[in-house]
């Protein structure tokens, strides 16, 4: 059945340049037939009934954490809305109140870049611009990697889909285009989250939210 369908498609495409629309002298263009075929599901026929999902799957892999977020029981005393980041666990807890928190896997600072303390969310940005600090650019330059002075937001931007800035520091809770780093100590001090997770957290956080970073 599939072979017969393929033969019919091929025959119609070959005949397309000579075909003419009814009541018109204008030829029917091959491109329009190909577009129509794609829209009506011919890609599934050509792949033997299996939808072409490669691009969609690749996009999901870029944005999805290898460790799923989860709603958990949380017995610690903290005001609802508080964000607690545990460096040793490499987890971020968003306290929801009533003994419940949302737990996300994160990437924390690598050796020499870990820090602890408390601050507040001072600014939020969607698809933020990345401006690497001068010392970071100098450090990476010694390794042969030249960083841009500034990079606009986008899928290739290391800050990912969202950023929450912490006080007046250089640190942020932000997305990443390297989800493989989640659950590890690989950042230069910022807290990385997979794009899907940082979007989820971002939507539930307000300016002034307290953030606690601990070992």
Active site positions, annotated = 174, 190
Residue 195, Cβ density class (10 Å: 0-12 exposed, 13-18 middle, ≥19 buried): buried
Sheet strands (E) in 11-168: 70-73, 83-86, 91-97, 100-105, 108-109, 117-126, 162-166
- Nearest partner of 70 among 97, 99, 102, 95, judged by Cα: 102
Torsion sign over Cα 97, 102, 105, 108:
negative
Torsion sign over Cα 152, 157, 162, 164:
negative
- Nearest partner of 165 among 125, 197, 130, judged by Cα: 125
Q: Which residue has the tokens 């072979």?
A: 3
How is residue 146 written in tokens? 């030249």
How is residue 102 written in tokens? 């949302």
How is residue 112 written in tokens? 């020499």
> Which secondary structure element, helix H or strand E, spans residue 36, and what is its range?
helix 30-39
């Amino acid at each position: 059945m599939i072979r017969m369908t393929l033969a019919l498609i091929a025959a119609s495409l070959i005949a397309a340049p000579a075909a003419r629309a009814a009541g018109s002298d204008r030829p029917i263009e091959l491109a329009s037939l190909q577009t129509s075929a794609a829209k009506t599901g011919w890609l599934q026929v050509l792949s033997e009934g299996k939808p072409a999902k490669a691009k969609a799957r690749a996009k999901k892999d870029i944005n999805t954490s290898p460790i799923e977020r989860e709603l958990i029981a949380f017995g610690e005393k903290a005001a609802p809305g508080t964000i607690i980041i545990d460096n040793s666990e490499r987890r971020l807890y968003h306290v929801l109140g009533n003994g419940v928190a949302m737990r996300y896997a994160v990437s924390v600072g690598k050796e020499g870049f870990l820090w602890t303390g408390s601050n507040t969310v001072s600014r939020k940005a969607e698809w933020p611009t990345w401006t690497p600090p001068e010392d970071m650019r100098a450090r990476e330059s010694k390794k042969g990697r030249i960083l841009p002075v500034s990079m606009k937001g986008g899928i290739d931007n290391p800050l990912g889909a969202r950023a929450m800035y912490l006080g007046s520091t250089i640190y942020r809770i932000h997305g990443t285009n390297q989800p493989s780093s989640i659950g590890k100590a690989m950042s230069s001090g910022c807290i990385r989250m997979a794009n899907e997770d940082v979007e989820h957290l971002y939507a539930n956080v307000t300016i002034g939210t307290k953030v606690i970073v601990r070992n």
